[in-house]
Amino acid sequence: MSKVNELFLNNGKPVNCITLENRAGMKVSLCDLGASLLSVWVPDIKGKLLDVVLGYADINDYLESNHAFFGATIGRNANRIEDARFQLGDECIQLDANEGMTSLHSGPNGYHTRIWEIKTVTDNSVTFRLDSPDGDQGFPGHLIMEAMYELGEDNKLRLTYRGLSDKETIFNPTNHTYFNLNGQGSGDILKHILKLNCKAYTPIVDYRSIPKGDCSSVTNTPFDFTSEKMISENIKSDFKQVRLAKGYDHNFCISKEKEHTDFALLMGDNSGIKLSVATNLPGVQLYSGNFLENIPGKMKSVYQKYSGVCLETQYFPNAINTPTFDSPILRAHETKEYVTVYSFSV
């Protein structure tokens, strides 16, 4: 079942919020502003519905105040590009920097600030479409992008990104949802249990959080989540990589047995809710909400450090400038499709 509600922003522009609901009672709220994921309501171990993603009470805040990128579709390029530039063929492409000299999530005019076209709505899915012209954000190529959300009766939320460009360009989108499986506004996620099928991660050089270009083993480091452990276990470690990011804000290299194998398991310590994540992308940015501070959220919540955790599936940070990483390039007239599946259970 799906339902569409029209709202108006402070600037007078209309936006549409769509709610998908399955027969099990799981509900997902979406918006054409940023092709964003606003809420995910799932039953806990006692059958009580909890909204397990962070967000704002006022839709205007997703446009005016969303420096944390709550629920946002990020594009064209997720994560960081060093010095906000890269070489593509014989051309040096310069982007707008928005984190010092770095381009973070494609700069100040990211796709999360756009109102997307609602291409289709069905009983269990919504497809958003964005027309991004040649030179948008500094990237070459006229890109047509789609973001499709599908809610299954098995409490799986499937997110599919498709891209087609008339020129060679970067296509590296992600979703920036913050999860708190005890329910948004319930406190921090430090006692959540996390397991990652990731035997390596990409160390960062300094406070800019840009990788060195190599993959390092997680063995005997705070980054070893190959067995279940609480997020809190090493988050305040004196390990240099943890200190640089003030917690976890690192890319992990997904170990794949097959294309869509589950690579992550996150469990709420109070709710009993479990989240499994699968993808066909090579990496995941684990971000533990280290820089959240006094952010007013839904239902009069105030989000602080560690109020939510992100599992952002994507190509590795600065991959376009790092030959040793998988390339995020989309060839001209070639369609690429990336899929991430979020499976909820108790």
Q: Which domains does the chain have, with CATH numbers?
A: 2-345 (2.70.98.10)
Asked if 342 contacts 156 with a C-beta cutoff of 8 angstroms, the reply is yes
| Spatial contact of 314 and 263, defined as CB atoms under 8 Å apart | no
CA angle 227, 276, 309 (to 5 degrees): 80
| In the predicted structure, residue 169 carries a pLDDT above the cut 90 | yes
Q: Is the pLDDT of residue 255 over 70?
A: yes
pLDDT mean over 325-345: 98
Q: What is the rounded distance in angstroms from the CA atom of residue 93 to the CA atom of residue 332?
A: 16
Mean pLDDT for the stretch of residues 140-152: 98
- How would residue 258 be classed by pLDDT, with cut points 50, 70 and 90? low
User: How would you class 132 by CB atoms within 10 Å of its CB: exposed for 0-12, middle for 13-18, buried for 19 or more?
Assistant: buried
What percentage of the chain has pLDDT greater than the value 90?
A: 95
Q: How far apart are CA 171 and CA 337, in angstroms?
A: 10
Distance (Å) of CA 79 to CA 106, 189, 266: 8, 22, 22
Residues 244-260, mean pLDDT to the nearest whole number:
88
In the annotation, is 64 catalytic? Answer: no
Q: Residue 260: is its pLDDT beyond 70?
A: no
Collapse the DSSP code of 64 into the 3-class scheme (helix H, G, I; strand E, B; otherwise coil) and give the result. helix
Nearest-angstrom CA–CA distance, 80 and 77: 8
The tens digit of pLDDT for each residue in 57-110 reads 999 999 999 999 999 999 999 999 999 999 999 999 999 999 999 999 999 999
Give the pLDDT band (50/70/90) at residue 268: very high
186: pLDDT strictly greater than 80: yes
Model pLDDT, residue 185? 97
- Active site includes 312? yes
Per-residue pLDDT averaged across 321-344, rounded? 98
∠ CA 321-327-328, rounded to 5°: 95
Q: Looking at residues 9-26, what average pLDDT do you find?
A: 95
Q: How far is CA 216 from CA 12, 34, 192, 200, 330, in A?
A: 50, 34, 25, 5, 27
Residue 4: the pLDDT is: 81
Q: If you average pLDDT over residues 34-57, what whole number do you get?
A: 97
The predicted structure's pLDDT at residue 261:
76
- CA distance linking residue 93 with residue 101, whole number of Å: 14
Least confident span in 104-118, 160-174, 191-205, 257-271: 257-271
Mean residue pLDDT across the chain: 96
What's the CA gap between 80 and 55, in Å, rounded?
23
- Per-residue DSSP letters for 285-324? EEE--TT--SEE-GGG-EE-TTS-EEEEEESPTTGGG-TT
Confidence band of 259 (pLDDT split at 50, 70, 90): low
Reduced to 3 states (helix: H, G, I; strand: E, B; else coil), residue 226 is: coil
Q: Which of 82, 105, 192, 312 is catalytic?
A: 312
pLDDT band per the 50, 70, 90 thresholds, residue 27? very high
Bridge partner residues of 73 (DSSP): 175
Catalytic residue among 105, 112, 176, 250: 176
The predicted model gives 10-39 an average pLDDT of: 97
Mean pLDDT of 160-188: 98
Higher pLDDT: 3 or 346? It is 346
Taking residues 316-338, report their average pLDDT.
98
Q: Give the DSSP per-residue string, 84-139.
A: GEEEETTEEEE----BTTBEETTSTT-GGGSB-EEEEE-SSEEEEEEEE-TTGGG-
